[in-house]
A and B are shown apart, each in its own frame.
Chain A
Amino acid sequence: MVATIEQAFREQWGRVLAALIGFLGDFDLAEEVAQEAFAIAAERWPLDGVPRNPGAWLLTTARNRALNRIRRDRTLVTKTRLLQVPEEAEDTMDATSFPDERLELIFTCCHPALATDAQVALTLRTLGGLTTDEIARAFLVREATMAQRLVRAKRKIKAAAIPFRVPADDVLPERLAAVLAVVYLIFNAGYGGRDELASEALWLGRALAELMADEPEVHGLLAMMLLLDARREARVRDGDLVLLADQDRSLWDTAQITKGREALDRALALDGRGPYVVQAAIASLHAEEPRDWPQIAALYGELTRLTDSPIVELNRAVAVAEEEGPEAGLEIIDRLPLEDYHYLHATRGELLRRIGRIAEARVAYSRALALVHDDAERRLLQRRLSEVPRSG
């Protein structure tokens, strides 16, 4: 019973809140009455049973509370007549009249007029239903800081009239890219070890894929996240990072890899060739053994063309090194403007070690160690440096 209720809450929060914001045009009021409705449900459902349509029940309850509150406020102000509200608004809705406005909501939360960290926080709060405290802990900031961030974002939405709607076609591509970037950012924060954020990103990705089924990049992002997340259990052993080549493949979630590949197929069937689709295709190839290095290198080349990112080029260098030998990889690496990027030096170190340039390998690994911030990555680098012979 408790599990059913929790599941209903998880599934319904974003949709109920979105419908309330659409109806009320006010984030704060919508959030307050949604919370009240969920609290009432938590009391009543265990006794009365979960209603047939939990979402509609929650929305009706929340909406009635909002209307009562607006009436009360109006009465206080004017002491004359009640706010004119159509009576049917108080009837219990059936499932068909329960609008799904989560897309409108996510485009509002990820509006480029809001700072990126505010977009992320607002998306997790409204769509994901995470508490302010949960979001604060996930991003390692104080709860008061996160609360302030959310308050400011909501204030700006209201004061500047950031619209609650899916953008027009002419701006949709760039605005969708902003939404996907927020989901990807949440996923990446989770990939660094905070599992609940990775799950949250996957959940948002699935919701987007359902709501924007015609957009290849949406399926591409979902596919990429599923494929990367499928290796989550194998990435860390006793708190230490394990490189892909050394991972215990029996720990990979094969069902999830299959789902990731299905999402990738959908993206390709929609003629998707964007950066997320390409990254998903690369992640899919990385899940095969033996790995198809020429194909991986070609896809990284394609991704470089799309993103113009030297970090992607560094990844291509790794694939090229596997296919054509370490020298070919080093030749690419030595052209990259990534002097302060620890992966560049770690990769150089590894390739130099393979061709016996031991002294240079040690220098490269030391340089990587001096630049790294994450403890798990530092231990991995120290382990690899210790495997390089002292003389050569």
Chain B
Amino acid sequence: MKYMMLIYQGTTPTPPSEEWDRLPEDEKKAVYAAYKALNETPGVTAGLQMQPAETATTVRVQDGKTLTTDGPFVEIKEAIGGYFFFEADDLDAAIEVASRVPAARMGGAIEVRPIVAW
């Protein structure tokens, strides 16, 4: 079973920001170490790094006309901050991996979405 793990940062401090800079050095190191460990976990395929949600552009088509708006589809703090893939036997394994994503304990959440297998 393959899962897409969607990372919602919520109020998690992320670089570059003042909140991130205010984090103790140990905490920053722990965050980087946790992501490194995740990427090295068997079954994990790392996602590509996304620019902050502020840089997103949302596109709609109405009556054949393309409408673009600045920002993500949802509110900025509700936007996806990153993703990775995880291949495992079952949901319990995916929940365990999700619980190790720093955002899950720092004010955000991880959404575990099963991928359709063909």
Contacts and interface: CB of A to CB of B under 8 A. Distances in A.
A161 B90 contact: yes
Interface residues of A, number: 10
Interface in B52-94: 89-92
A163 B89 contact: yes
Nearest to A158: B114
Nearest to A168: B92
Interface in A149-208: 159-163, 167-168, 171
A161 B95 CA distance: 11
Interface residues of B, number: 8
A160 B112 contact: yes
Contacts of B1: 160-161
Contacts, number: 23
A113 interface: yes
A168 B95 CA distance: 13
Nearest to B1: A161
A107 to B, nearest CB: 10
Contacts of B114: 159-161
Nearest to B90: A163
Report which residue of A113, A160, A161, A163 has the largest number of chain B beta carbons within 10 angstroms of its beta carbon: A161
A307 B91 CA distance: 29
Nearest to B96: A171
B96 to A, nearest CB: 8
Interface string B1-20: 10000000000000000000
B112 A163 contact: no
A171 B92 contact: yes
A171 B89 CA distance: 17
A161 B89 contact: yes
A4 B1 CA distance: 43
Interface of A: 111, 113, 159-163, 167-168, 171
Given A163-B92, A168-B92, 8 more contacts: A113-B91, A159-B114, A160-B1, A160-B114, A161-B90, A161-B91, A161-B114, A162-B92
Minimum-distance CB pairs A-B, first 3: A163-B90, A161-B1, A161-B90
23 contacts: A111-B91, A113-B91, A113-B95, A159-B114, A160-B1, A160-B91, A160-B112, A160-B114, A161-B1, A161-B89, A161-B90, A161-B91, A161-B114, A162-B90, A162-B91, A162-B92, A163-B89, A163-B90, A163-B91, A163-B92, A167-B92, A168-B92, A171-B92
